[in-house]
Amino acid sequence: MRQLIILVAALTIILSGCTKDTTPAAKPGEVTTPTTPVPAPTPAPTTTTPAPSTATPPAAGTTTPPATTPPTGTTPAAPEVPRPDGAKEQPTATLSQLEKVEFGMTYDEAAKVMGQMGKLISESQDDGGVNKIQTYEYKTKEGTSIKVTFRNGKVSSTSG
């Protein structure tokens, strides 16, 4: 029972977003001036390849890039990238084509590697509309399917 109370209290604090006030208290008769925190400088975007992850590798046939989280207190603006409608019929592709698709490729780059854009099979976004996710599917001559998933207009995962 005691552990349950501690757990509920911890969750309440976490969910309420409480922060510690670091402003020193004024002494009686002393006048204080409010200070505005200076924002940290925004780092310049980089185009480096992520370091290998030490996490458990994904299941065979599925690849996913390492997750990245934005700095606390910032909400990244999703670039508005128009998504292609995709093929009317499910196009044919090969696993060797899929192996050439790299994380971060745009719709056009992936379509060029795959021969054409696949058939759009799913589309979603989070509540804030920040992460827009589309999955395009291809069929193989063997009858299996190949999928390329995009997050905000860039390849985020592949499977086949």
pTM of the model: 0.51
Question: How many CB atoms neighbour CB 30 within 10 A?
Answer: 7
Whether the pLDDT of residue 158 is over 60: the answer is: yes
User: pLDDT (tens digit, 9 = 90+) per residue, 69-90?
Assistant: 555 555 555 557 777 777 788 8
Please state the rounded mean pLDDT for residues 41-45: 58
Fold of 82-160: Beta-lactamase Inhibitory Protein; Chain:B, domain 1 (3.30.1450)
Enter the tokens of residue 124. Answer: 């979603």
Enter the tokens of residue 34. Answer: 């409010």
> For residues 60 and 57, what is the distance between their CA atoms, to the nearest angstrom?
9
Q: Would you say 107 and 150 are in contact if contact means Cβ atoms under 8 Å apart? A: yes
Enter the tokens of residue 1. Answer: 């029972």
Q: How confident is the model at residue 116 (pLDDT cuts 50, 70, 90)?
A: very high
Residue 133: per-residue pLDDT: 92
User: pLDDT (tens digit, 9 = 90+) per residue, 90-112?
Assistant: 899 999 999 999 999 999 999 99
